[in-house]
Structure 1
Amino acid sequence: MLGRMGHEGMRAADGDRQKVADQLKAALDEGRLDLSEYDERVQRAYAAKTYGDLDGLLDDLPGTVPVAKSQVVSAEPVDQLTPVPGQKHKSGRSGFQGMAAVFVVCVLIWAMSGMGYFWPGWVAIPLVWALLAHFRDRGNRGH
C-alpha cells in the first residue's frame, strides 16, 4: 500500500501532529515565530489529516526535519510473553515473595494495633491466588 500511495496522502497520527506542534512551540520560544503565526500554524497542525497537510509548517524553521522527509516506520506489536533473546526467564517466585513480604508487614501492623478484626486476610487473597498459579504453572516452566 505504501508503494501506491505517496507520503503526502498517508494519514498523520496524533503523535505526528503533536511533534510538529512541539517544534512550533520551540520556534516560538526562540523568537522565530510571532504569536499570531504560531497560533495559525498550530491550528493547521492539529487540523491536519495527512502528512501533506503538515507539509510547509516547519519548512522555513532551522533545525527541524520537514514531515515530507521523515521516514515512515511500521510499528510491530511486541508480545510481552515472548522472551527476549539473551534475557533470563523470570519465574513468578520473586512476585510471590514480594506479596508475601507485604502480607507479613500487614500482619505485624495488625498485631501492633491491638489485634482486632483480621484485616490482613484481605491482603492474603491475591497471595493465595499467586501461590496457586505458581504451583499450577510449575510444570510448564521447563525447570
Structure 2
Amino acid sequence: MVDPNRGGMRASDADREEVAARLRTALDEGRLTITEYDERLQSAYGATTFGELEPLTRDLPVPEPSAEVVAREEHEEKVSKEWRDWAGGAVIMIAIWGVTSVASGDLKFFWPAIPLVIWAAIAVAMTIGGPGKRD
C-alpha cells in the first residue's frame, strides 16, 4: 500500500520500470492476461505520480527475491563478516606485538604478519569465490 503522503509525489523512470517488471513477472506467471498486461503497462509508462502507479500492482503478490539474489546477499554478508573479523584480529595481534615490543625495550619480530597474511589469503579466496554451497 502506498503511503498517503507519497501518493502525490512524482514517480521516476526507475519507479515506472519497477512496476513494469512486476507486471512482466505477473504476465509470465499467468496472473494477468495479455490484454490486462498491455493496459497496465501503458498506464505505468503514462503515470506521473506514485498514486497512479500503486493501483497497477495492488492486486498482485509482492515478489519474493530469487534464490540467486538471496545467495548473493548471504555471500556478501559472510565476506563482510570475515573481513571485519580479520580487521579485529589484526588490531588485537598488532597490539600484543606492540605491547611486548615496548615492554622488552626493543622492536620484536613482527609475528602478526604470518597469521594475518594467511587469514587474508583465505578471505580473498572467499571474496573471489562468489556465492556457492560451502556449508
Q: Which has the higher helix share?
A: 2
Instruction: Answer 1 or 2: higher relative contact order, Cα 8 Å, separation at least 6.
Output: 2
TM range (shorter): 0.3 to 0.5
TM-score of the aligned structures, taking structure 2 as reference length:
0.43
TM-score of the aligned structures, taking structure 1 as reference length:
0.40
